[in-house]
């Protein structure tokens, strides 16, 4: 169980987040939606532990994974090493299996920049699921993709989530994405932003 | 081609000068060069200088790199240390060399320290720019995946800094060996700089050129055989 209890978050004198409190159970997929600039990514960064300057408390597991808007790979390491370096318990064979699962069979030696953008995003997904995360965080993972690639990536993500069943929090401004992937939708609104009752 | 043109200009200048004590022909260096190699003088002094260059290079890269990294990542520290950096960047190399010899003594420690203190600000400045250009998203990713501090340094930070480290290393090695020669010229009893000082006092232009060119060739070899292959290695992931 992931427990998020944010009492407030300020950037300088500006309070961007008010009380934001929610839980995510194992196997549950929660979408956080709201207009651009409302603070969705800020909530996500707090939950991920990237932003620690806030009032409140977050209970999160050790095994976490994150998928950003961009693939955010180690471009200077091979595809296989991108998995091995972020998942220390993984064996090279396990990394190759994780790559195969996202359609990157035989590309373990390739550097990320030698892959297409679609393949880089698949690699980012492979990295996220290779370590069997208890908490998966996704920050608008399908934004800026063409409809065909977005459909492919959503299908792949659905399959991987169904297999691994992590607690998933993902941020999106696309209602259709939220309705398709999420088991529960949270709406962030107002200034400072809070969850809609 | 361009080296050939340079040689032709040298031959022409030596011919116009018509005085081997002022500017000998290039081929006039062959005999003295062979003699210095055979009697062991040239290898010995080259070795002494190379050891000093290696020490100074390693220490300056380590200290300057670490300083540049923390200054690039910590704005408060950068505000504090930036004026120091500006002062040391503008301090003439000769002043630092003389001060090191005066304060530490005419010894090996002072010689290497003088070179290191001269080079640290340059390395720090270059690496600081690299540290400012680090991708925060990759850093955030590494922290979410719980990469250890050592793994983050080795696999996240240093590879991003590699172009800046290479630039600092290449400009560093070019400057360091020249400063080492001045350091040896002023206060050591071995090394290429010492030999140049010796032959300067004897007004032996041929031997000055023999030692100078020998060391230039060695440093070009370091550039071609060590630095350039290493740079290609660090950039191999950029191949499309």
B168-174: average pLDDT: 88
Q: Return the residue of B nearest to A83 by Cα.
A: B145
| Nearest alpha-carbon partner for A187 in A173, A176, A168, A177 | A173
Q: How confident is the model at residue B240 (pLDDT cuts 50, 70, 90)?
A: low
- pLDDT of B74 reads 93
| Other Cβ atoms within 10 Å of A59 Cβ, number | 10
Per the CB < 8 Å rule, is A86 touching B142?
yes
Q: What is the pLDDT of residues B83-126, one digit of tens each?
A: 999 999 999 999 999 999 999 999 999 999 999 999 999 999 99
Token pair of B42 as six digits: 């040239």
CB A44 within 8 A of CB A17: no
Contacts with A47 (C-beta within 8 Å, 6 or more apart), sequence order: A2, A4, A58, A60, A135, A137, A169
Of the residues B237, B238, B239, B240, the best mutation for testing chain A's interface (the one with the most A CB atoms within 10 Å of its CB) is B237
**Average pLDDT in chain B:** 91
Q: What is the mean pLDDT of each run of 10 residues along chain A (197 residues)?
A: 92 93 93 90 93 93 90 94 92 94 92 91 93 91 83 90 93 87 92 85
Interface test with B, best of A42, A79, A80, A86 (most B CBs within 10 A): A86
Percentage of the residues of chain B whose pLDDT score is greater than 70: 99
**A32 by DSSP, 3-state: which?**
strand
Rounded to the nearest angstrom, the minimum Cα separation between B233 and chain A is 11
Q: Taking 90 as the threshold, does the pLDDT of residue B17 lie above it?
A: no
Mean pLDDT across B185-212? 93
Residue pLDDT, tens place only, B39-62: 999 999 999 999 999 999 999 999
pLDDT tens per residue, range B62-92: 999 999 999 999 999 999 999 999 999 999 9
Q: Please, is B186 exposed, middle or buried when counting C-beta atoms within 10 Å of its C-beta (0-12, 13-18, 19+)?
A: middle
* Percent of chain B predicted with pLDDT > 90: 73
Which residue of chain B has the CA closest to A130? B145
- Least Cα separation, residue B143 to chain A (angstroms): 7
Q: Which residue, among A123, A88, A44, A115, has the nearest Cα to B155 in the 3D structure?
A: A88
Chain A residue with Cα closest to B137: A72
Q: Which residues of B3-22 are buried (b: 16+ CB within 10 A; e: fewer)?
A: eeeeeeeeeeebeeeeeeee
Strand partners, A31: A170, A185
Q: Find which of B134, B136, B141 to mutate to test the A interface (most A CBs within 10 Å of its CB).
A: B141
Domains of chain B with CATH codes: 30-235 (1.10.3720.10)
Any idea what the Cα angle at residue A141 is, between residues A140 and A144, rounded to 5°?
85
CA distance A189 to B217: 69
CB distance B240–A85 less than 8 Å?
no
Q: Which two tokens stand for residue B206?
A: 């041929």
The pLDDT assigned to A143 comes to 81
Backbone angles phi, psi at A3, to 5 degrees: -115, 125
A88 to chain B: closest CA residue: B147
**B134-162 pLDDT, tens digit each:** 999 999 999 999 999 999 999 999 999 99
């Amino acid at each position: 169980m992931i427990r998020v209890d944010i009492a407030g978050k300020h950037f300088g004198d500006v309070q961007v987040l008010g009380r934001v409190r929610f839980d995510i159970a194992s196997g549950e997929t929660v979408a956080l939606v709201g207009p651009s600039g409302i603070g969705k990514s800020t909530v996500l960064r707090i939950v991920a532990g990237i932003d620690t300057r806030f009032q409140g408390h977050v209970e999160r597991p050790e095994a976490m994974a994150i998928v950003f808007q961009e693939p955010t790979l180690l471009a200077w390491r091979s595809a296989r090493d991108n998995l091995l370096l972020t998942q220390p318990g993984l064996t090279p064979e396990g990394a190759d299996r994780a790559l195969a699962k996202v359609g990157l069979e035989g590309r373990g030696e390739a550097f990320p920049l030698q892959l297409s953008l679609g393949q880089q995003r698949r690699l980012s997904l492979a990295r996220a699921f290779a370590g069997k995360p208890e908490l998966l965080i996704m920050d608008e993972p399908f934004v800026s993709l063409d409809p065909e690639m977005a459909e492919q990536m959503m299908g792949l993500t659905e399959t991987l989530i169904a297999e691994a069943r992590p607690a998933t929090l993902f941020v999106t401004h696309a209602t259709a994405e939220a309705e398709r992937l999420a088991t529960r939708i949270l709406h962030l609104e107002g200034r400072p932003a809070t969850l809609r009752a | 081609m361009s080296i050939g043109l340079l040689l032709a200009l040298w031959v022409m200048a030596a011919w116009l000068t018509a005085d081997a004590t002022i500017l000998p022909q290039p081929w006039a260096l062959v005999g003295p060069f062979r003699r210095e190699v055979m009697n062991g003088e040239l290898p010995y002094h080259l070795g002494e200088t190379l050891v000093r260059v290696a020490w100074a290079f390693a220490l300056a890269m380590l200290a300057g790199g670490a300083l540049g990294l923390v200054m690039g990542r910590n704005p408060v520290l950068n505000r504090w240390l930036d004026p120091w950096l500006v002062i040391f960047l503008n301090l003439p190399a000769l002043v630092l060399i003389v001060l090191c010899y005066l304060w530490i003594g005419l010894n090996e420690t002072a010689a290497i320290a003088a070179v290191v203190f001269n080079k640290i600000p340059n390395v720090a400045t270059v690496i600081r720019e690299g540290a400012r250009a680090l991708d925060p998203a990759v850093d955030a990713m590494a922290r979410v995946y719980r990469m250890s501090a050592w793994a983050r340094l080795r696999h996240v930070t240093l590879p991003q800094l590699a172009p800046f480290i290479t630039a600092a290393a290449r400009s560093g090695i070019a400057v360091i060996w020249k400063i080492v020669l001045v350091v040896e010229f002023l206060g050591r009893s071995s090394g290429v700089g010492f030999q140049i000082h010796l032959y300067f006092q004897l007004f032996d232009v041929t031997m000055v050129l023999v030692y100078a060119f020998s060391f230039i060739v060695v440093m070009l070899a370091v550039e071609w055989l060590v630095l350039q292959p290493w740079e290609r290695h660090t950039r191999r992931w950029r191949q499309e």
